[in-house]
Amino acid sequence: MLEIKDVSKSFGGIKALRNVSFSLRKSEIHALIGPNGAGKTTLMNIISGIEKMDKGDIVFNGISIKDFSAYRRAQMGLARTFQNIELFGNLTVLENILIGMYVKNHKGFILSGLNFSGIDEKTKSRGISLLEYVNLSHRKGEIAKNLPVGEQRLLEIGRALATDPQLLLLDEPAAGLNTKETKNLSELIQKIRNEWEVTILIVEHDMELVMGISDMITVLNFGEVIAEDTPIAIQKNPHVISAYLGED
């Protein structure tokens, strides 16, 4: 359902991505891992349309989306969360979810023009159901930026789900979470895949989480794919071990 084809990207003299190619099958959980600076976030930005690639193509359900805006990609069913959480911090938890729902249904909007008080009960109750789904309904009226990090990450996932995605990009969703929160997150990601039949691409440094939930793993090192395999095979792959340990 997603093909990353020969993608390259440089920042000045830094080659962040070099001819990166791999594919995602529908409804799989696919992890993108690699040491710091390997190019993972750059690739997530290119897939979601925040960053332009120098060369290559991204094909989503058979359509080349490389020239589409991030907004258009979101409307096509591509949703994401960010390494450095990006919520509408001054809006409530429920309003953040409602914005996700709005993105799905409208061609474009100006944030200041949103009038939450005019939102119908049906929409609101669907928003609250989504909050229940990510275990945040008790926080619905709170200002998003006041939530602890773990709950802000759940809210980002909830907002992404509110756009009714086919492909969910999760960029380091476990960063800043404790062991219990990480375990809950791992269960939530698997539940989302099973119940929403959504395809998930996850960038994550927590190897226990990655190995526990992924169907396939692609490993980047210095902007290049060095391995693509199942979790069990990746753990034994000498190129991957050496990339992480920095030695042969």
Backbone Cα Rg of the chain: 18
CA-angle at 19, arms to 242 and 80, nearest 5°: 85
Residue 42 sits in the site that holds ligand ATP (CB under 6 A): yes
Cβ at position 219, least distance to ligand ATP in Å: 11
Residue 173 sits in the site that holds ligand ATP (CB under 6 A): no
Among 8, 27, 28, 37, binds ligand ATP (CB under 6 A): 37
Residue 240 sits in the site that holds ligand ATP (CB under 6 A): no
* Through-space distance between the first and last CA atoms of the chain, rounded to whole angstroms: 35
Q: Are 202 and 170 in contact (CB under 8 A)?
A: yes
Q: Are 86 and 38 in contact (CB under 8 A)?
A: no
Residue 36 sits in the site that holds ligand ATP (CB under 6 A): yes
Residue 77 sits in the site that holds ligand ATP (CB under 6 A): no
Crossing angle of helices 121-133/149-162, nearest 10°? 130
Residue 38 sits in the site that holds ligand ATP (CB under 6 A): yes
- Residue 45 or 75: the one with the smaller Cβ distance to ligand ATP is 45
Among 7, 16, 162, 209, binds ligand ATP (CB under 6 A): 16
- Residue 37 or 150: the one with the smaller Cβ distance to ligand ATP is 37
Q: How far apart are CA 27 and CA 7, in angstroms?
A: 23
CA-angle at 227, arms to 222 and 231, nearest 5°: 120
At a CB cut-off of 8 Å and minimum separation 6, what does 109 contact? 102, 103
Residue 73 sits in the site that holds ligand ATP (CB under 6 A): no
- Count of residues engaged in binding ligand ATP, rule: CB under 6 A: 11
Cβ at position 226, least distance to ligand ATP in Å: 13
Query: Would you tell me which residues interact with ligand ATP (CB under 6 A)?
Result: 11, 14, 16, 34, 36-42
